Amino acid sequence: MRGNAEFSQYSGRALDLLAKKLIALREALQADGRALEVHLVGHSAGSILLGWLLGRLTKDDLLPRAPGIRSCTLYAPACSLQFALGTYAKAARTPLFALSNLRLHYLSDANEKDDALPAPEFPLYGKSLLYLVSRALDDARKMPLLGLHDAITPQAFDPKLWADDQIASIRAWQQLWSPGAPGAAQRGFPVTAPDVRVTKTGATIQATHGSFDNNVDVLTATLARIRGGGLVAPIEWLDY
């Protein structure tokens, strides 16, 4: 999966084609006196794909014509902090993207540990998918991931939770990006309730790694940020 995402930035492949289409769209709108706004939204491994898209847009051949990224919202991102430093933070050193416009929605650590695989009702693995990736499927055991509360929250930092050779990445990321306190400057949004709303009338499901695209409150917040104001009408249901 990670390899496919990385290779798709090469010439003639998906992310390369997408980056060039965004530039073409921007130029077509400019010729018509209009502007293009680009807002990125990704869930889980989508954070890896979007990281490589930013990497492609910031290459020398495209950067002078690339449209700026107005916002980027990630739900439970499954990429490592090392990857985030090499893509999101690197892109933020160009005019393309500001790290202050990165918003993260993620489970609290308690919810990560109450999630389970293959499903909460069949807890063969007693924690979430991100814990499995961090502990068994990434390049290092105990890899800090961008979607894990305890990796990105300075107050929760405990070096015993993470691989020794990744401590520097954690400190580097936390120096560049902070969840912030609740309010206007908040950029990190932990899902702390054990259940999340999936309909306007209040139906709920368990807060799990897969629940973000069903979460009325998370989707409402994302759309309101993109619109720069409230929604035209409330989201009625996401309980599919």
Per-residue model confidence (pLDDT) at position 114 = 95
**Both tokens assigned to 90:** 């690197």
Q: Give residue 184's pLDDT.
A: 81
Instruction: Determine the pLDDT at residue 119.
Output: 85
Handedness of CA 39, 100, 75, 223 (dihedral sign): negative
pTM for the model stands at 0.96
Distance, in Å, from the CA atom of 147 to the CA atom of 121, rounded to the nearest integer, reads 23
pLDDT, position 185: 87
Compute CA distances 237 → 99, 124, 220, whole Å. 31, 30, 11
pLDDT of residue 194: 97
Task: Return per-residue pLDDT of the chain as tens, 240 residues.
Answer: 899 999 999 999 999 999 999 999 999 999 999 999 999 999 999 999 999 999 999 999 999 999 999 999 999 999 999 999 999 999 999 999 999 999 999 999 999 999 999 988 888 999 999 999 999 999 999 999 999 999 999 999 999 999 999 999 999 999 999 999 888 889 999 999 999 999 999 999 999 999 999 999 999 999 999 999 999 999 999 998
Which pLDDT score, from 0 to 100, does residue 209 have? 97
Cβ atoms of residues 222 and 73 within 8 Å: yes
- Report the distance separating Cα 198 and Cα 239, nearest Å: 5
Per DSSP (E only), the strands in the chain are 38-43, 69-75, 102-107, 117-119, 122-125, 188-191, 195-197, 204-206
Residue 185: Cβ within 10 Å count: 10
Question: Which pLDDT value is given to residue 111?
Answer: 97
Q: What is the pLDDT of residue 58?
A: 97
